[in-house]
Amino acid sequence: MSYPEVGIAGLAELLAGPVVPAARGLLGCRLSAGGVTVRITEVEAYAGTAGDLASHAHRGRTPRNAVMFGPAGHAYVYFTYGMHWCVNVVTGPQGEAAAVLLRAGEVVEGVEVARSRRTAVRRDVDLARGPARLCAALGIDRTLYGRYLLGDGPVRLRPAAEPVPEATIAAGPRVGVTGAHDVPWRFWIAGEPTVSQYRRHVPRSRR
């Protein structure tokens, strides 16, 4: 099954539902910001307050995660490691605080702009390969926190140009997450060279 043929309304409906189908359905969708468009190739699902210890919302609402508790289809942008931005799509009904982390994408428009923001990159497939790299390529930062993604704002999410067959979607444990390694909530398009490399989480105290 695939979702893109139903248009923006269908995408909105998908995002308002359970987080796992939403995450899978986001594969192949296009995200545009800062003059760059990526085709999403890798995502991770995070339940909100529903017992997912890896979710930023699992301890309840804070100033940082507040947008997660609002309606689906908005951008949850957060800053980490003192230098990186990452972006999520809020999903599910209001109050559930579930979200999908956009982990990687293929730059399909604005390659030159993306390269100007990612000077360390040699190959185009590395431009948005990784959640912080994706944000860097798109120029996403705090100013886009909470923005609605399905309208005409500065960050726009659109259905896939081509459907992503369910059979090509692979699943595995989430990256960088302490514990919950048995929860296969990382999804990617099999065979895509833009999918980020899996790294097992190592607690800082043991580095």
Is 82 near DNA (CB under 7 A)?
Answer: yes
Give the shortest CB-165-to-DNA separation in angstroms: 26
Tokens of 159: 């259905």
Going from the C-alpha of 1 to that of each of 20, 25, 110, 144, 163, the distances in angstroms are 14, 9, 30, 31, 9
Tokens of 83: 């230098």
27 to 56: interface string for DNA, x by CB under 7 A: -----------------x-x-------xxx
Stretch that binds DNA, among 31-39, 131-139, 147-155, 185-193 (CB under 7 A): 131-139
Residues 8/82, Cβ–Cβ less than 8 Å: no
User: What is the DSSP secondary-structure string of 56-94?
Assistant: TTTT---TTTGGGGS-TTBEEEEEETTTEEEEEEEESST
Is 196 near DNA (CB under 7 A)?
Answer: yes
User: What is the DSSP secondary-structure string of 99-128?
Assistant: EEEEEEEEEEE-HHHHHHH-TT--SGGGTT
Stretch that binds DNA, among 24-32, 81-89, 107-115, 157-165 (CB under 7 A): 81-89
Residue choice 7, 9, 80, 190 for contact with DNA (CB under 7 A): 80
Residue choice 11, 15, 33, 99 for contact with DNA (CB under 7 A): 99
Instruction: Kindly list the residues in this chain that would bind DNA in the complex (CB under 7 A).
Output: 44, 46, 54-57, 59-60, 62-65, 76, 78-84, 86, 88, 99, 101, 118, 120-121, 126, 130-134, 136, 174-178, 196, 199, 201, 203-205, 207
